Amino acid sequence: MEESNELTASVSQGNDKVEGADLAEGAARCAASSADWGADRGAVADPLQVLQQVFGYASFRGPQEAIVRHVIDGGSALVLMPTGGGKSLCFQIPALCRPGLAVVVSPLIALMQDQVEALRQAGVAAAALHSALDPQESASLWRQLNEGTLDLLYVSPERLLNGDLLERLAERQLALFAIDEAHCVSQWGHDFRPEYIQLGILADRFPQVPRLALTATADPRTREEIVERLGLQQGRVFLASFDRPNIRYLLRGKEEPKAQLLRFLEEHRGDSGIVYARSRSRVDQLAAALQGAGFNAVGYHAGMEAAARSAALDRFRRGSGVVVVATIAFGMGIDKPDVRFVAHVDLPKSLEAYYQETGRAGRDGLPAVAWMIHGPGDVPQLRRFIDDSEAPLAQKRIEHGKLDALIGFTEAASCRRQVLLRHFGEALDQPCGNCDACLEPQTRHDVTVAAQKLLSAVHRTGHRFGAAHLVDVLLGASTERIRSLGHDSLSVYGIGTELDKEQWRALIRQLGALGLLQPVPEGHGGLRWGAENAVRPVLRGETPLELPLPPPRKERRRSSGRSSSAGAAASTDWGEADPQLAAALKSWRTDQARQQGVPPYVVFHDRTLLELAARRPSSLAELGSVGGIGAAKLERYGAALLELLDSCASPPP
């Protein structure tokens, strides 16, 4: 293990200084020496050792090792891996193992900055070339480039292709090209970026340099487009499972969105999360409501000033426990690993969008929740958006089809994850045990008679009232409205006490999904019958209905305590660790992050803090075996951490 000690020593040298260009330079020296170390032995550095020494991880994950070895051997590839799957290491490790400079194409400055900061923390010589560089940073970057001391250069596609950068790169030894967020070349998918298409010339200009395209978008058409446009026909395709087992999918019927959201968030106080809503006005309203309820919440949508938007993004990235309420404009570029929940108060556009949006939760692999409320009321509006758009008819048909798949998912009574993965062509043999359908199985009930009562109530009240009033009528409530409308004298008044409010609501949603009820055209949430030829057979008892209903209220109460509730169980469980130590570690991390002007997760992920709190390492060697602590971080933070761990004496057993 002589080599690894040498590596540790050289890495540590480079990290006496921690700021700005000095840091980059220091990092450059040590990473250069790590590469030399490989070269000295007449072979490329061993990827597993780089993984352990530089990044502090014990082993590769999924297809990472195969990908890394393929690229080190000079191969090109397309890598399809879900968000949080660990795509970055697939090019970062070959970048350190192969001689020369690795060029990483990335679409957003924020994405580049995060990765560069994280790499520098790990003692790697990385830099990003973009318009927001100050002259000093820029000068240092060019110096490093010319001296050949840089291992990874992040750059936007525009910056790469314009000017003479390609010519200058052609004079250097290049380790590889990595094209991150490669789906941006696809016109078919989302996030299309025209300038990505021109990246095809890399194949012609640099045929000897391995090219690695990476994306979390797996649909076959996007995949084909990437291969074709980036000239990857000779490369391999690596496809990882798209399952995100740490994400708990929880779907709920939509009743009172704001109140439901607040109840959900209450279980996640202190966690970072994203709330997606459809319209800008709704975003503004909800953000205000959350602030009013004492949450560290901020709104984000395309109607805001650019400065306000980037301030919101920054607060989310750098803060902890910040909740962003956003439209889908808040999307790409969210690399924050410790997003603990993604909540949808409105239906997304498609299952693809749902998967992508919820995928922003739990990148760090710790438990996270994807929570969504939905109701039949969402659907007509989405249909209208599609119909009113400028898209050609064929496109509209596709969009309607995508919406159908989404509705199928929300109405499924079986495991959510199975439905979701099946949609992406992946089979999951067993129900997952980590979604609402698995955790709170609903038994199916014969609801034929209840449905008849409900349909009669709709009819008798004139096909214009919403769910709340219909339920009041069925339960025989004595409201002002019922009395003034004289609905207490209808034959349907009070005939539905066999179900409670929640159960009636669920039934209404399901009849909506079945097309037996539909919203009145004027909006306002009123309901009327669906097609007569569907409704009549139900009324005559010719179409028996068996549908799942939530358990009666009494039972729900019993199982809604924090410890047993499905939603709460998934929030980061610092509870296991000594709370004092956990708090001390977190506040130490916050200080470090603030001093260096980086987001806290760049210093250490929650995962690493959790492991520290649980294991309480008492020596540098032990500390180095904690996940996420590589040689550079051990050198920089080791002593301070040991002191902190020591000063928080373990509580008496």
Site of interaction with ligand ADP (CB under 6 A): 57, 60-61, 64, 81, 83-89, 337, 363-364, 605, 627
Provide the sign of the torsion angle of the four alpha carbons 359, 432, 424, 80, taken in this order. positive
Only segment of 31-39, 434-442, 533-541, 561-569 that touches Zn ion (CB under 5 A): 434-442
Helix (H, G, I), strand (E, B), or coil: what is residue 335? Answer: coil
CB atoms within 10 A of CB 105: 26
State yes or no: residue 213 binds Zn ion (CB under 5 A): no
Phi then psi for 364, rounded to 5 degrees?
-80, 0
3-class SS shares of the chain: helix, strand, coil, % to 5 = 50, 10, 40
Going by DSSP bridges, is the β-strand pair 247-253/546-548 parallel, antiparallel, or unpaired? unpaired
As measured in angstroms, the least distance from the Cβ of 58 to ligand ADP is 7
Q: What distance in Å separates the CA atoms of residue 609 and residue 607, rounded to the nearest whole number?
A: 5
Beta-carbon neighbour count of residue 385 at 10 Å?
Answer: 13
The nearest distance, CB 548 to ligand ADP, in angstroms, is: 35
CB of 609 to ligand ADP, least distance (A): 13
Nearer to Zn ion, 193 or 374 (CB): 374
Q: How many CB atoms lie within 10 A of CB 636?
A: 20
* Segment interacting with Zn ion, rule: CB under 5 A, options 216-224, 300-308, 436-444, 508-516: 436-444
In the complex, least distance from residue 90 CB atom to ligand ADP, rounded to whole angstroms: 8
Whether 322 contacts 315, CB under 8 Å: yes
**Residue owning tokens 């094209």:** 179
Nearer to Zn ion, 90 or 368 (CB): 368
* 364, interface contact from ligand ADP, Zn ion, none, CB < 5-8 Å by kind: ligand ADP
Using CA atoms, how far residue 242 sits from 1, 80, 354, in Å, is 37, 9, 13
Minimal distance, residue 605 CB to ligand ADP, in Å: 5
| Smallest distance from Zn ion to CB 21, Å | 50
Shortest reach from residue 86's CB to ligand ADP, in Å? 3
Contacts of 238 (CB under 8 A, 6+ apart): 63, 66, 67, 70, 77, 78, 79, 80, 81
Least gap, CB of 375 to ligand ADP (angstroms): 32
Task: Output 254 or 605, the one with its CB closest to ligand ADP.
Answer: 605
* CA torsion, ordered 336, 242, 270, 502, to nearest 10 deg: 140
Strand ranges (DSSP E) for 240-301?
247-253, 272-276, 297-300
Beta carbon nearer to ligand ADP, 68 or 185: 68
Report phi then psi at 102, rounded to 5.
-100, 130
Segment lying near Zn ion (by CB under 5 A), choices 222-230, 401-409, 430-438, 578-586: 430-438
Rounded to whole angstroms, the Cα distance separating 520 from 528 reads: 6
* Rounded least distance, CB 417 to Zn ion, Å: 5
Q: How far apart are CA 596 and CA 603, in angstroms?
A: 9
Q: Which one of Zn ion, ligand ADP, none is in contact with 476 (Cβ closer than 5 to 8 A by kind)? A: none
Distance CA 323, CA 274 (A): 6
Q: Which two tokens stand for residue 326?
A: 């956003």
How many Å apart are CA 446 and CA 549, to the nearest integer? 10
83 versus 149: smaller Cβ distance to ligand ADP: 83
In this structure, are residues 416 and 374 in contact, taking their beta carbons and an 8 Å threshold? no
Could you say which of Zn ion, ligand ADP, none residue 494 binds, taking C-beta under 5 to 8 angstroms by partner kind? none
Nearest in space to 72 (alpha carbons), one of 52, 50, 51, 91 = 91
Smallest separation (angstroms) from ligand ADP to the CB of 59: 6
CA–CA distance, 342 with 234 (Å, rounded to integer)? 38
> Within 175-204, which residues bind Zn ion (CB under 5 A)?
none
| Adjacent-strand bridge partners of 251 | 372
Which of ligand ADP, Zn ion, none has residue 432 at its interface (CB below 5 to 8 Å by kind)?
Zn ion
Binding site partner of 229, from ligand ADP, Zn ion, none, Cβ cut-off 5-8 A by kind: none
Residue nearest to ligand ADP (CB): 86
Kindly tell me which residue out of 87, 130, 349, 417 binds Zn ion, with binding defined by CB under 5 A.
417
Spatial strand order of the sheet with 323-326 comes to: 247-253, 368-374, 339-344, 272-276, 323-326, 297-300
User: Interface with Zn ion includes 369 (CB under 5 A)?
Assistant: no
Pick 133 or 428: Cβ nearer Zn ion: 428
Tell me which of ligand ADP, Zn ion, none is bound by residue 360, counting a contact when its beta carbon lies within the kind-specific cut-off of 5 to 8 angstroms: none
Span of 86-94, 101-109, 130-138, 415-423 interacting with Zn ion by CB under 5 A: 415-423
**Nearer to ligand ADP (CB atom), residue 48 or residue 412:** 48
- The residue (of 130 and 607) whose beta carbon lies closer to ligand ADP is 607
Least separation in angstroms between CB 363 and ligand ADP: 5
Q: How many residues bind Zn ion (CB under 5 A)?
A: 6
- 340 phi/psi in degrees, rounded to 5: -90, -20
Q: Binds 76, which of ligand ADP, Zn ion, none (CB < 5 to 8 A, cut-off by type)? A: none
Residue 81, contacted partner among Zn ion, ligand ADP, none, CB below 5-8 A by kind: ligand ADP
Our CB check for ligand ADP shows the closer of 108 and 386 to be: 108
Cα(37)–Cα(9) distance, integer angstroms:
12
One DSSP character per residue, 270-281 reads T-EEEEE-SSHH
Q: If binding is defined by CB under 5 A, does position 370 make contact with Zn ion?
A: no
Q: Element (H or E) spanning 373, and its range? A: strand 368-374
Q: Quote the strand ranges of 229-329, DSSP E.
A: 236-239, 247-253, 272-276, 297-300, 323-326
Q: Looking at beta carbons only, is 401 or 441 nearer to Zn ion?
A: 441
CB nearer to Zn ion: give 68 or 432: 432
From 101, 153, 286, 432, residue interacting with Zn ion (rule: CB under 5 A): 432
Residue 450 engages Zn ion in binding (rule: CB under 5 A): no
Q: Does 415 bind Zn ion (CB under 5 A)?
A: yes
CB closer to ligand ADP out of 301 and 607: 607
- Binding segment toward Zn ion, per CB under 5 A, in 55-63, 426-434, 502-510, 617-625: 426-434
CB of 367 to ligand ADP, least distance (A): 14
Rounded CA separation 291/225 (Å): 44
Are 107 and 156 within 8 A, CB to CB?
yes
The structure tokens listed for 427 are 């089979």
Which of Zn ion, ligand ADP, none sits in contact with 209, Cβ below 5 to 8 A by type?
Answer: none
Shortest gap between Cβ of 437 and Zn ion (angstroms)?
Answer: 5
Task: Provide the minimum distance between the beta carbon of 222 and ligand ADP in the complex, in angstroms, as a whole number.
Answer: 16
Q: Does residue 438 interact with Zn ion by CB under 5 A?
A: yes
Which of 231, 165, 236 minimizes the C-alpha distance to 201?
231
Judged by the rule CB under 5 A, the positions of this chain that interact with Zn ion are 415, 417, 431-432, 435, 438
